[in-house]
Structure 1
Amino acid sequence: MSDLFATAGLEGAAPRPLADRLRPQRLSEVVGQEHLTGPEGALTRMIANRSLGSLIFWGPPGTGKTTVARLLARETDLHFEQISAIFTGVADLKKVFEAARGRRAIGQGTLLFVDEIHRFNRAQQDGFLPVMEDGTITLIGATTENPSFELNAALLSRARVLVFKALDAEAIERLLQRAETLEGRRLPLDPDARAALAGMADGDGRYLLGLAEELLSLPEGPDLDVAGLAATMQKRAPIYDKGQDEHYNLLSCFHKSLRGSDVNGAMYWAARMITGGEDPGTVFRRLCCAASEDVGMADPQAMPMVVAAWTAFDRVGWPEGRLFLAQAIAYVATAPKSNAAYSAFNAALALAQKTGSLPPPKHILNAPTKLMKELGYHAGYRYDHDFPDAYAGQEFFPEELAGDPRTDFYAPNERGFEREVKKRLEYWARLRAERQGR
């Protein structure tokens, strides 16, 4: 934008956003990415060794990906060309590549920066390969999504992925101090409100400077407290894309906290999803999965507890429904854990796939016709309720699997209610041995 102003002769008069005026002029001025731009950073070493190749910048918004790409072009004397995958089609790409070939013919290289590169489809991504391989362009693609899932393997094999981090508290404070120095005045915030402002930015430096610019434009007056800050400007929701990578990341964090019996962690990750706009039904579905997979028979009440809480939530709604969600989270997280039933069924599925269509034992087949009776269907079946403890100890597996140790799928542990289940199974095993004459 500043180049356009300069071309038009309006550089001095045109207003420029604070973020643009604070744009770093050297890699060493970039904040929050010292692992890349610091003295021992990966990009610093590349420039020192004159070994800059194609790169993928992966990280959240407002962390300096575009700025760093511009600085790399300047440091390596490459022509900087920027496009966005959202607004660029195949015809536009061809023009960009042709212009880069023209520059290459006269000895000028091109650094092509592609914002939101994951928005290109697979075929479009493949279109970059020839011009990357022949040196027509040095590609730097920026993405907020996991490149492993969103970019072609062929493209990834020709580019190095560098991870940009959300700005931490120290980096955010440095940006605020730079803004105050440039504007010649202090942000009108008390210490708590200043900390709250940093929280509003959620690691996004560009958004932070937009907030700071708005505050620095306020007329002189007393410092704002947290309530005053909230009243002065709208707080955005945390960065969270319900349909993309972050959605699955937070669900994973939530489920693993439940499995790890960390009730506070589970509460936190659920809150992160809810404040990011996630449907509470998604959280309840994950609770159901954890109640079965990770709690299981150690506490059989976990599943009905979650379903009851979910039903109550659907009937009452938000905000009162958060009580039911909180109770379900606390119950599952603090319940004794066992994945024995889950593991047992996985083992049963595996054995069923291996053994095919083995015929069942005839004594547990019904015999509704005369022919079936003549063939021995139902012969020798023992009705369990006619036996002590309602247990006859008969065989239910196909003959080929009877007594096979692979059929011992379910191995309850000593946690929670499953301790009682284990005792029951051991007792039945003794009865079976007695009644089968073993």
Structure 2
Amino acid sequence: MADLFAREPEQANDDDTRRPLADQLRPRSLDEVIGQTHLLGPDGTLRRMIASGRLGSLILWGPPGTGKTTVARLLADQIGYSFEQISAVFSGVADLKKVFEKARFERLSGHKTLLFVDEIHRFNRAQQDGFLPVMEDGTVVLVGATTENPSFELNAALLSRSQVLRFESLGLEDLEKLVVRAEALAGAALPLDAEARHTLLTLADGDGRALLGLVEEVLASAKPGETLDAATMLTVIQRRAPIYDKAQDGHYNLISALHKTIRGSDPDAALYYFARMLDAGEDPLFLARRLIRMAVEDIGLADPLALPQAVAGRDAFQMLGSPEGELALAQVVVYLALAPKSNAVYTAFKGAMSVAKATGSPMPPMVILNAPTKLMKGSGYGDGYIYDHDTPEGFSGQQYFPEKIGRQKFYEPVERGSERDYRKRLDYFERLRAQKGSRDG
């Protein structure tokens, strides 16, 4: 995978102009890398490692085009290690063995090796385990790069021997610095007005390598003396799809953001993340299912209409299809965000499941068991059962839990929405139960 390059430009020659812009702007030191100040700044993690003279194995985790490969290469130069690079996409066990043998030979010669593994998450579990012996005996210092969450994609044994460093998407200021350097190399300003320039930075989506590719497209497509506005620019360059893999990190990050903004009663933020997922190609029915889940998990009986509203939104989408049906789901997003919130049923259900699993299979009280046979009647099944509808209050107050575990309390309504009324009903039933229990006693 190409590096993210961002050094100060020099005079270009004819051979340079045939190379990609990202390659021409390759930095020669860590000081020239744009972005990642939390790692490369004066007090950054990597700066402290270099100053200490000790470099351990690292996992560089972050989006594409944020400088992971570049930093790994420059890190080896900075500390005087031999640099070896492989890609998990194109390499197998045989390739790893060759690299390990070369590193062992270098070690005998007094040289240490930094092995950079791009897309390390693409190696399977057994292949990842293959790194452990050469890491432990000092044959290599492993630096792996991944765009996926290491917690999910890498072996625990590999993670325990490495420090994970998070690379962040480049901000607009960092991307602007890249454009300025590209313009200096090209010897000309981009033929864009202010709005188009901002749009170009936004389209890069925090990916420096992608930005330099877009800059090349603009420079190659613009006519002499022409200044492009945003609309015109979008017609001459291909719009870059948002970074979003429906099976990986981007997917989980955005659905988490949508869920938490609805839980946090922010309809505007919720609509934003909902729109981002749709724009990135998410299946609307997946979103519909998650909205139904949110209705029962985070709203529940605080607004009993939340679940029917969510189910109706799904049904409306299935009837109308896209794009008309997406409006129905957007309505559900707003409704759920504005609804009173309660996780009381969710919490009660978890509590009931916990007790059910922990207490085995105790018999329910005999009083509430049916007695379809004479034998069962003679054994006391159903003896003393009070039909609730025959009582003045419609409430018998009988003990329904198994005697082995006694009465339990799981459902605690909140003082929001309809659950205020449910709280009053529960309190009423508790008082009746206490009165009837004292009379029975």
TM-score tier, shorter chain, comes to: over 0.9
Q: With the length of structure 1 as denominator, give the TM-score of the two structures.
A: 0.92
Structure 2 CA distance for aligned equivalents of residues 372 and 11 of structure 1 = 99
SS in 2 for 1:81: strand
Match of 1:216 in 2: 219
1:121 aligns with 2:124: yes
Q: CA deviation at 1:244?
A: 1.6
Runs of 4+ residues over 4 Å off in structure 1: none
SS in 1 for 2:15: coil
C-alpha distance after superposition, 1:365-419 (max 9, x if no partner): 22222222222222322222233343333332223445x3xx1221212211111
Q: CA deviation at 1:326?
A: 1.0
Task: Please show how residues 187-206 of structure 1 align to structure 2 within 5 Å.
Answer: 187-206=190-209
Q: CA deviation at 1:191?
A: 0.8
5+ residue gaps, structure 2, are 3-12
Aligned match for 1:367, one of 361, 364, 371: 371
Aligned match for 2:138, one of 135, 148, 156: 135
Alpha carbons 1:97, 1:136 under 8 Å: kept: yes
Q: CA deviation at 1:14?
A: 7.6
Alpha carbons 1:185, 1:216 under 8 Å: kept: no
Q: With the length of structure 2 as denominator, give the TM-score of the two structures.
A: 0.92
Task: Give 2:283's aligned amino acid.
Answer: D
Aligned match for 2:40, one of 37, 41, 47: 37
Aligned match for 1:319, one of 300, 304, 323: 323
Task: Give 1:336's aligned amino acid.
Answer: P
Name which of structure 1's ranges 324-333 and 356-365 shifts more when overlaid on structure 2: 356-365
Structure 2 CA distance for aligned equivalents of residues 409 and 230 of structure 1 = 57
Match of 1:337 in 2: 341
Match of 2:264 in 1: 260
1:112 aligns with 2:127: no
Aligned match for 1:166, one of 169, 183, 188: 169
Q: CA deviation at 1:297?
A: 0.9
Match of 2:433 in 1: 432
C-alpha distance after superposition, 1:279-323 (max 9, x if no partner): 122222222222111111111110111001011111111111121
1:70 aligns with 2:69: no
Task: Give 2:316's aligned amino acid.
Answer: A
Task: Give 1:71's aligned amino acid.
Answer: L
Structure 2 CA distance for aligned equivalents of residues 334 and 223 of structure 1 = 45
C-alpha distance after superposition, 1:315-370 (max 9, x if no partner): 11111112111111111111111111121222222222233222112222222222
Match of 2:230 in 1: 226
Q: CA deviation at 1:13?
A: 7.3
Structure 2 CA distance for aligned equivalents of residues 13 and 392 of structure 1 = 89
SS in 1 for 2:413: coil
Match of 1:416 in 2: 417
Identity over aligned pairs, percent: 61
Q: CA deviation at 1:90?
A: 0.5
Structure 2 CA distance for aligned equivalents of residues 424 and 179 of structure 1 = 70
Q: CA deviation at 1:141?
A: 0.7
Alpha carbons 1:187, 1:215 under 8 Å: kept: yes
Q: 1:73 to 1:434 in 2, by over 3 A?
A: closer
Task: Give 1:408's aligned amino acid.
Answer: K
Name which of structure 1's ranges 246-255 and 296-305 shifts more when overlaid on structure 2: 246-255
Q: 1:398 to 1:107 in 2, by over 3 A?
A: closer
Q: CA deviation at 1:142?
A: 0.5
Structure 1 CA distance for aligned equivalents of residues 402 and 164 of structure 2 = 54
SS in 1 for 2:324: coil
Q: 1:412 to 1:48 in 2, by over 3 A?
A: closer
SS in 2 for 1:166: coil
Alpha carbons 2:76, 2:83 under 8 Å: kept: yes
Match of 2:297 in 1: 293
Q: CA deviation at 1:12?
A: 3.2
Task: Give 1:355's aligned amino acid.
Answer: T
Match of 1:100 in 2: 103
Structure 1 CA distance for aligned equivalents of residues 148 and 243 of structure 2 = 12
Match of 2:400 in 1: 396
Task: Give 2:148's aligned amino acid.
Answer: E
Alpha carbons 1:81, 1:112 under 8 Å: kept: yes
Structure 2 CA distance for aligned equivalents of residues 73 and 148 of structure 1 = 26
C-alpha distance after superposition, 1:229-275 (max 9, x if no partner): 22112212211121122322222222121111122222222222222
Q: 1:419 to 1:98 in 2, by over 3 A?
A: same
C-alpha distance after superposition, 1:85-119 (max 9, x if no partner): 01111011101111222223333332211100111
Alpha carbons 1:347, 1:409 under 8 Å: kept: yes
Structure 2 CA distance for aligned equivalents of residues 20 and 49 of structure 1 = 31
Aligned match for 1:306, one of 305, 310, 328: 310
In angstroms, what is the RMSD of aligned CA positions? 2.1
Task: Give 1:432's aligned amino acid.
Answer: R
Q: 1:103 to 1:400 in 2, by over 3 A?
A: closer
Q: 1:401 to 1:13 in 2, by over 3 A?
A: closer
C-alpha distance after superposition, 1:174-196 (max 9, x if no partner): 00000011001111111111111
Aligned match for 2:59, one of 28, 38, 56: 56
Aligned match for 1:354, one of 349, 353, 358: 358
Q: 1:375 to 1:238 in 2, by over 3 A?
A: same
